[in-house]
Amino acid sequence: MGIYSKALEFYEKALKIFEKALPPNHPDLATSYNNIGGVYRNMGDYSKAPEFYEKALKIFEKTLPSNHPLLASSYNNIGGVYSNMGDYSKALEFHDKALKIREKTLSPNHPDLASSYNNIGEVYHHIRDYSKALEFYEKARKIIEKTLPPNHPSLAISYGNIGQVYNKMGDYSKALQFYEKDLEIKKKALPTNHPDLAIFYINIGVVYQNMGNYSKALEFYEKAHKIFENALPSNHPLLATLYNNIGTAYFGKGDYSRALSFLEKALVIFQKSLPPNHPDIQKVTDVIAYVKKRM
């Protein structure tokens, strides 16, 4: 949390200077808005992030040609926040705008194109169109494998994404195969307390949970929990996702009181950090009601 609040402090100081010194549509002002939006997004504040991203977009749309890379980045940022907020049709709309610019202006193996494919794959993943998600994730992977070194973090993310889809499709051996590739890179590239490592542990935990091995799942969730507690603000949506997973794992083990405790923690964070109509809020509410019936 400290890193983000410090970053915000510096970016806001810079913004005040830019607002006084520059004309209202200056590109540096847009960059400043984008930076602040990015910090809010990393903090899990999805109500503040779009406000700043939209300000940046307005400037870029007025001052840049319609196929400019910065415009694509801006669409990409806004699409990402809509995805975080659970508005997947809006997310797809903005990611598609970014992709169209990038396909026209970039070489077919450009990393930004891989980023667009990954983002679109993620949206399809959320709306449970797994074959479409896999199609876009594989497009991204092919570019990343061609253009980046074998231990690059982006490659780990790509393997992790594909692993998640195979997990959702019920192909657990394939899921674990891609997660192992993901872990191999992350262990070399990241410090032991990095949040991305925690996300990996959650993914592995979910596979074991789906296989009915709840003790093994909880073992990985606990590893993630130790990292998140130190690395994330206490109301971050990722922490809520983890509590939700821990709760459902305890439910699977038949420990309903523990399950309820973690699910209620998840719900409190989701209600604070997400829009009221976000699908995750409804999902947790439904699971809590079901657990209470079983107690």
6 pLDDT band, cuts 50/70/90, is confident
Q: Which domains does the chain have, with CATH numbers?
A: 190-295 (1.25.40.10)
pLDDT of residue 189: 83
Report d(CA 249, CA 163) in Å as an integer.
20
pLDDT of residue 2: 66
Q: How is residue 215 written in tokens?
A: 């003790």
Report d(CA 277, CA 85) in Å as an integer.
9
Average of per-residue pLDDT across 247-267: 97
* DSSP summary character for residue 133: H
Cα 234 off chain centre by: 17
- From the list 62, 64, 155, the residue with the least C-alpha distance to 105 is 64
To 10 degrees, what angle do helices 237-253 and 279-294 make? 30
138 pLDDT band, cuts 50/70/90, is very high
153 pLDDT band, cuts 50/70/90, is confident
Do 153 and 185 form a contact (C-beta atoms < 8 A)? yes
Percent of the chain surpassing pLDDT 70: 99
pLDDT of residue 1: 52
22 pLDDT band, cuts 50/70/90, is very high
pTM for this model (two decimals): 0.75
187 pLDDT band, cuts 50/70/90, is confident
Q: What confidence tens digit (pLDDT) does each residue in 63-99 have?
A: 999 999 999 999 999 999 999 999 999 999 999 999 9
Neighbouring CB atoms inside 10 A of 100's CB total: 15
